[in-house]
Structure 1
């Protein structure tokens, strides 16, 4: 759903840029509370993983594909504030290095793909956990539903932005119907990917999953041949935490991201994604402008001067994962360091003076 330059007019793009900048500022402050010694290293990896999986377009209808947006996945794994930052880092890398998503539309894309998806999905996720049993399965189920809802929510947000600042004379009703219909289907793929990923991490290290913190399971006792809940609750995180180290989780996630971007991406669907399909069918793409990074050596996810498509795309994917994990880790390390400074003994003593 990367919006290119030219779809949205300059005033609306400027307003969404202000909204995006405000959201990033709030997220930087909020991420200080979310990031700790467990999740700070994971956040950069989450950004790289989202980048890799976004290269894997999957077919959803005749001549149409979809890809992960990632807001729900990031929010559940590392928290909503950090999640906004994760997706924003991905969008920045894609726009600057790969000419994917317009630079003048960066505010539109961050507002739509980072802010809307994260806020909506995390609200749905928390609402479901409030009524579901406090089990790992509930976390996975809530992740599925939250991700499913987040994608059509982003489609609605784009339609509203286009209604305000669209640059072509197109029926908004037709745009809304096409966008929402296609993105409900894409949301199913998003939900499957999100639930599988969250479920895999919860299975080995539930303490690393922000959305699973505080998860408790009642101790069950057998009374007269029947299992009943004991009054006391016991944490479910310790045994799993003992089995798999944080380093092992990080290395496994990085290796998976590299394989997905460097090899599996070659087999992704070549059909246009939901927004591209709607834009072409409704004539929205007539106003598209050339990307200012079209001359990038990695434009359109290929390495310039490498003629072999498999090698070119694979190298571009690996470079993208590397650049994203480095950029993301640098951002989250700086945020974490700021948090440590804020709560250091010296700052605490100064604030109490």
Structure 2
């Protein structure tokens, strides 16, 4: 759903940029509370993993594909404020290095793909977790529903932005129906990816999942033929806070590199939901060439390398590495600000 340059006029693009900048500023402050010793090492990894999975377009209908937006996944794994920052980092890297998503439309993309998805997904996720049994299975189920709803919500948000600042005169009712319809199908794929990823982390280290903290079921012991709750362990041992996330981090980096460097070659080549709707409804009449179209990594390939598999794979690996470095650096600075602020209050 990367909006290119030319879809939205300059005044609305600027307004969306202001909204996005405000959301990022608020998220920088909020992330200080979320980036504790458990979340901080993984936040950059989450951004890199989302970058990798976004390269994996999957078919959803005849001639149409979809890809992960990632707002729900990021919010559940590392928190909503940090989640907005993760998506902002991914979109910035994609726009500057890979000519994916317009630079003048960056504010629109952060608002629609980052802010809207995170707010809708995390709000719904928290509501479901409150009413469902406090188990790990409930966390994965809630993540599925939250991710599913977040995608058509983002599509509806784009339609609203287009209704205000679209550069072509098209029937908005038809655009809304087409956008929400195809992105509901894409949402199913988003939900499956989100649920599987959250479930995998919850299975091995539930303490590392921001949305699952405090939800671990007590250990059961069989006494005289009956199951009873075991005595609670010490807090640090109970939720795993004393264990290093190093193994999870290494596994996540390897998975992201494999997905971007190898699996991405087999991704669907069909246009994604927004591209398909734009072509069908005439939204793309005024699309502009990307300012970074001459980038050495434009269109997720390395300029000068003729072999498509090698070019795309290498571009994906570079993208994962750069996103990981920028994301980790950003969250390290935010984490340091948290520690500095805490020290100053003491």
TM-score range, shorter chain: over 0.9
Whether the aligned pair in 2 keeps the contact of 1:258 and 1:317 (CA below 8 Å) is yes
TM-score (norm 2): 0.96
Residue 16 of structure 2 corresponds to residue 11 of structure 1:
no
Once the two structures are TM-superposed, the CA of residue 348 in structure 1 deviates from its matched residue by: 2.0
Once the two structures are TM-superposed, the CA of residue 39 in structure 1 deviates from its matched residue by: 1.0
User: What CA distance in whole angstroms lies between the structure 2 residues aligned with 1:33 and 1:242?
Assistant: 16
Once the two structures are TM-superposed, the CA of residue 41 in structure 1 deviates from its matched residue by: 1.1
Once the two structures are TM-superposed, the CA of residue 241 in structure 1 deviates from its matched residue by: 3.6
User: What CA distance in whole angstroms lies between the structure 1 residues aligned with 2:254 and 2:48?
Assistant: 11
- Pairing 1:66-215 to 2, within 5 Å after superposition: 66-215=66-215
Instruction: Label 1:218 to 1:204 Cα distance change in 2 as closer, same or farther (>3 A).
Output: closer
User: What CA distance in whole angstroms lies between the structure 1 residues aligned with 2:234 and 2:115?
Assistant: 32
User: What CA distance in whole angstroms lies between the structure 2 residues aligned with 1:221 and 1:78?
Assistant: 32
Q: Which residue of 1 aligns with 2:253?
A: 254
Once the two structures are TM-superposed, the CA of residue 124 in structure 1 deviates from its matched residue by: 0.5
TM-score (norm 1): 0.94
What SS class does the counterpart of residue 271 from structure 2 fall into? coil
What SS class does the counterpart of residue 169 from structure 1 fall into? coil
User: What CA distance in whole angstroms lies between the structure 2 residues aligned with 1:220 and 1:133?
Assistant: 16
RMSD of equivalent CA atoms = 2.0
Q: What count of residue pairs does the alignment treat as equivalent?
A: 346
Per-residue Cα deviation, 1:276-317 (whole angstroms, up to 9, x for no partner) = 000000011111000000010000000001100000000000
Which structure 1 segments of 5+ residues have no match? none
Q: Which residue of 1 aligns with 2:325?
A: 326
User: What CA distance in whole angstroms lies between the structure 2 residues aligned with 1:107 and 1:294?
Assistant: 19
Per-residue Cα deviation, 1:189-242 (whole angstroms, up to 9, x for no partner) = 000000000000011111111001111424556688554x65987799947849
Whether the aligned pair in 2 keeps the contact of 1:204 and 1:241 (CA below 8 Å) is no
Instruction: Label 1:16 to 1:245 Cα distance change in 2 as closer, same or farther (>3 A).
Output: same
User: What CA distance in whole angstroms lies between the structure 1 residues aligned with 2:232 and 2:285?
Assistant: 60
Q: 2:345 aligns with which of 333, 345, 348?
A: 348
